[in-house]
Amino acid sequence: MRRDLLHFDLPAELIASRPAEDRDGARLLLVDRALPPGEVAHAHIRDLEQHIPEGALVVVNDTRVILARLLGRKRTSGGQVELLLVRKLADEPASTPTPAERWSALGRASKPIRPGADLDFGEPGTLSAHVLASGGGMLEVRLSSPAGLPLAEALDACGHIPLPPYLRRADDGADRERYQTIFARTPGAIAAPTAGLHLSERLVERLRARGVRLTSITLHVGLGTFQPVTVDDLDEHPMHEEQYLVSDEARAAIADARTRGAPVVAIGTTVVRTLESAADPERPGHVLASAGETRLLIQPGYRFRVVDALLTNFHLPESTLLALVCAFAGVDRALAAYRAAIAARYHFYSYGDAMLISGKA
């Protein structure tokens, strides 16, 4: 698909810099794939149970955002430096004097960050990074705590929630809670699965009271989800690998939904990509219990094998996430919905409002 077909103009004031006061307080645009493009309805997340069929299976992503943004200085020059931890590569042997881990990371400084550089974060001795290698725009670093602190404790002391740059503000204490879903269990993401941010405990209770069932998968959101598209044709866009896990429990829950004739509702694009990556090639609608890495890029023309409905936030123009939404809803219907959301002054992006796409395609 051509990237320019995914373009839209968004007034800057519609970019939400803070979440709604209540998790389930956002607005909800309803899009039915059986209706013509442009026919939408307006609701609120807090009433989501009214728009999910009784007995449906709701699938959430239980990844947890790590404090991946590190602000510090180069040890030799004192120059400011920023690291974004992208993916843990390995633990250092337990025999090393202090606990250490190897990570791939993005780095930013006034001068290039070269192999051999030492970087310090937080109070002296709390957390350091030694740059092992660089290439392809990425760094490989060795993280350790000279003071001997457990690395999880050192990161908690020094790290910041990696808010998307379009929020144009520094993270604060509130983001440590609100940029995590209530399902966050498995650390590893560098961005939140944002559709899941809308679900509150009370909303989940109301869903369950209507017979809706829940299960979870894991996809550690990384560069594959939010890396900007810079090529004209999405076929040429290089997707980065992201780790995922579909447990046997999730496999069984989906198999049970198929037996009952119940729809599978994905909470967010990360759930879609995970379930579609794990789709059983022998049994349409089913998944395989599996763990691995996915580079799946979903764009118009893709045939969905598992997901029947999608709750999703409003995404950046010309992004792979918008391409996925266009594939699921249809290009004309998705872009008409975006125009309707802009006209109705919905809020966009990570802390913004949401859209529920359902109905037969």
Q: Give CB contacts under 8 A, 24+ apart, made by 333-338.
A: 333/31, 333/33, 333/36, 333/37, 333/38, 334/31, 335/8, 335/37, 336/37, 336/38, 336/40, 337/29, 337/31, 337/37, 337/38, 337/40, 338/8, 338/314
Question: Which pLDDT tens digit goes with each residue over 41-78?
Answer: 999 999 999 999 999 999 999 999 999 999 999 999 99
Arithmetic mean of pLDDT, 149-165: 93
If you compute the radius of gyration of the chain from its CA atoms, what whole number of angstroms results? Answer: 21
Look up residue 338 and give its amino acid: Y
| CB neighbour class for 201 (10 Å; exposed up to 12, middle 13-18, buried from 19) | exposed
Domains 3-65+176-358 and 69-159 belong to one CATH topology: no
Q: Would you list the domain boundaries of the chain?
A: 3-65+176-358, 69-159
Nearest C-alpha neighbor of 350 from the set 11, 64, 15: 15
At the topology level, CATH places domain 69-159 in Thrombin, subunit H (2.40.10)
What b/e string do you get for 314-348 counting C-beta neighbours within 10 Å, with b at 16 or more? bbbebbbbbbbbbbbbbbebbbbbbebbbeeebbb
Please check the confidence at residue 94 and state whether its pLDDT lies above 70: no
Please check the confidence at residue 275 and state whether its pLDDT lies above 90: yes
Please check the confidence at residue 113 and state whether its pLDDT lies above 70: yes
pTM: predicted TM-score of the whole model, two decimal places: 0.94
d(CA 361, CA 342): 24
- Dihedral in degrees, nearest 10, Cα atoms 225, 231, 234, 237: -50
pLDDT of the residue at 342: 98
Please check the confidence at residue 95 and state whether its pLDDT lies above 70: no
Nearest C-alpha neighbor of 248 from the set 285, 291, 214: 291
The average confidence (pLDDT) of the chain is 95
Instruction: Report yes or no: 257 and 300 within 8 Å, Cβ to Cβ.
Output: no
The two structure tokens encoding residue 311: 């709750």
Instruction: Report yes or no: 82 and 74 within 8 Å, Cβ to Cβ.
Output: no
Arithmetic mean of pLDDT, 252-265: 98
pLDDT of the residue at 136: 85
- The H or E element spanning position 138 is strand 138-144
d(CA 254, CA 217): 11
DSSP-H helix ranges across the chain: 151-158, 175-178, 201-209, 223-226, 248-260, 269-277, 320-329, 331-343
Band (217; pLDDT cuts 50, 70, 90): very high
Instruction: Report yes or no: 306 and 275 within 8 Å, Cβ to Cβ.
Output: yes
Helix (H, G, I), strand (E, B) or coil at 156: helix
d(CA 321, CA 342): 18
Tell me which CATH code domain 3-65+176-358 carries.
3.40.1780.10
The two structure tokens encoding residue 108: 């930013």
DSSP 147: T
